[in-house]
Amino acid sequence: METRKVLSSLCYFSIFFAGFIFPLIVYFATGDEVTKRHAKKSLLSHLIPLIPTPLIVFAVYFDFANMPDSVPAFTIISIVVLILIWIIVVIWNIIKGVKVLVSE
Query: Between 78 and 65, whose confidence is greater?
Result: 78
Q: Are 31 and 5 in contact (CB under 8 A)?
A: no
**What's the pLDDT score for residue 31?**
87
Number of H helices, E strands in the chain: 5, 0
pTM for this one?
A: 0.80
Q: Are 93 and 85 in contact (CB under 8 A)?
A: no
pLDDT in tens, 12-67: 999 988 888 999 999 999 888 989 999 999 999 998 888 888 877 777 777 777 77
Instruction: State how far the Cα of 78 lies from the Cα of 82, in Å rounded to an integer.
Output: 6
> 3-state class of 2 per DSSP?
coil
- pLDDT interval class at 95 (50, 70, 90): very high
- pLDDT interval class at 68 (50, 70, 90): low
